[in-house]
Chain A
Amino acid sequence: MDFIVAGFIKAIELLIGGDSSTWTAVFATLKVSTCSMLLSIGTGLPCGFLLGYFDFKGKKHLRTILDTMLALPTVFIGLTVYAFISRQGPLGELGLLFTLTGIAIGQTILAFPIVTAITASTIENIDRDLKLTLVTLGAGKRHIVATCLWEVRYGILAAAVTAYGRVLTEVGISMMVGGNIKYHTRTITTAIALETNKGLFADGIALGLVLITIAFIVNLSLSFLRKQ
């Protein structure tokens, strides 16, 4: 028990003291997760809207594929992205292996089905009287889409937060695609895994605290937005 308490104390010292390896991992995590979230929201939101709003042939099959993608293991995504961006892979020439961009691509693949599926479900559950109300108030198609999205903004925020939580805490993609290179591609989760293996609990706990704080801030912001 003592080593855990000691770990906490040292963790605070590391964070306050501005330990470079700790803070580099924090910034790397924030950079890739923000990037992957922007990409997954940018693509997942319109796809989710189309999937939830319109009825078309093959929609059910598409939903089944999407739901299956929700359970994609991160190591499998890591493996697939690795295969594509390694030197022998079709995108090898881009030199993305062991870079933060490579991790961001993998995490986008991880977050995309979450954002798309939750957005689609939220849109599907829109009160059917909403569209009728908007049409009868004189809204055109563009206004209807914008107002529908605004009406389900909390559902979409929930989709983003869920996806962010998944991206923030994944290890498989970051480890396989990023390579856990210190001061370069090391993220909070890969660093925790490494420090724990080395028996350096304090560093692991420090990074864990940062991870929990980020998650807390994101949820607090969401709660604030809901109140607004």
Chain B
Amino acid sequence: MTKKDFAYHLKNIQHYYGNTKVLDIDDLKIETGSITGLIGPNGSGKSTLLKLLAFARKPTRGRIFYKGHLELPFSSTVRSKITLLTQKPYLLKRTVFENITYGLKIRKDKNNLENRVKKALLNVGLDYQNFAQRKWHELSGGEAQRVAMAARLILKPEVLLLDEPIASVDTESARLIRQASLKARDNWGTTLVIASHDLQWLYSISDRQLSIFKGNIFSTGMENIITGPFVKPDVKPDDKPLVKKLDDGQIITLKAPAPKTCTAIIRKKNISIALKKQPGNGMDNQLSGHIVSMLLEKKSGHIMTTISIHDLCFILTLPPDQVSRLDLYPGKKVILGFYSNDVEWI
């Protein structure tokens, strides 16, 4: 694949707020015209990453290439091509019409504004007659979000970045925003990067899922994260494994962490699933739990399975034939197995 096929290439990105590192990405490429799902808990760095991708902030360290060219905030090359919709977008203290045409007017594009606003509003399920002249304070939360979406769609952006776009809107608004964002990709080949907690939506539309935790990107999608407290070894040597004791009596054994790391990652690919414990297989972690949800990944056809082990949730991606063979279904008791040495620390 040539360089030009990538909308973004992030190299050695580190971003700090004060002394706190919030983003640490060695290398990340996002393909042109693709849909990338960004998954991660609150405060993991999703919004910061999207702001960097929108060139609204300059990373503390590292470089961001857009279509092969190194770009910086306010660069005229990217300013008119990339747009970001946040969870609670700011609507200018003007009418809906003026809000939607703001970006066009900046670009000195004043052709046929009325018709374009009509189309943009229609895209998000709003009627021009009823909404165009409404003031910003005469809209509900869902309507405001849809107007903000229309203000971005009218620009026909090359890249549309969506930061929790449906987190605080009604179901109908959410449906229309989802639909409009997909239309942008289909109609104009827009590259979409979407951060959302709606995993079902993300897994059903995205070509690729990126998981982000404490500013670290996992390009394999959601991975399993185990946070402390861990029980430290009270005897030398220091490289003895750590253990995490669950309240139900089960114990997770983890290899000793690298210096300055405190969170354990267990990759999906390193976890196996069985119906019974297998004492002879050498796996030092065999934990009993229940399947709590199963989700189809449309692109791969695999089943994303969430298993609850006391108060921890583990995620695995299983091929359909394994699901069928083991007769897995939500509520079923299963055994998860992994080696303590397969644990990574961040």
Contacts and interface: CB of A to CB of B under 8 A. Distances in A.
Whether A associates with B in a native complex is yes
Contacts of A143: 106
A155 to B, nearest CB: 11
A137 B81 CA distance: 9
Given A129-B90, A151-B92, A151-B93, A136 B83 contact: yes
Given A132-B56, A132-B84, A143-B106, A138 B79 contact: yes
Given A129-B88, A147-B92, A151-B92, A138 B155 contact: yes
A79 B218 CA distance: 69
Contacts of B73: 135
A140 interface: yes
B88 A137 contact: no
A137 B93 contact: no
Contacts, number: 55
Nearest to B103: A137
B56 A138 contact: no
Main secondary structure of the interface of A (DSSP, over half): helix
B83 A130 contact: no
B107 interface: yes
Interface residues of B, number: 27
Interface in A141-163: 141, 143, 147, 151
B156 to A, nearest CB: 12
B89 A133 contact: yes
Interface residues of A, number: 15
A131 to B, nearest CB: 8
A147 B85 CA distance: 18
Given A132-B51, A151-B93, A137 B83 contact: yes
Most buried by B among A137, A138, A141: A137
A139 B80 CA distance: 8
A157 to B, nearest CB: 13
A127 interface: yes
A138 to B, nearest CB: 5
**Interchain residue pairs A-B with the least CB separation, the first 4:** A136-B84, A137-B103, A129-B90, A133-B90
Interface of B: 51, 54-56, 73-74, 76, 79-80, 82-86, 88-90, 92-93, 102-103, 106-107, 151-152, 155, 161
Given A136-B152, A138-B103, A140-B79, 18 more contacts: A129-B88, A130-B90, A132-B84, A133-B89, A133-B90, A135-B56, A135-B73, A136-B56, A136-B161, A137-B102, A137-B106, A137-B152, A138-B80, A138-B83, A139-B79, A139-B106, A147-B92, A151-B92
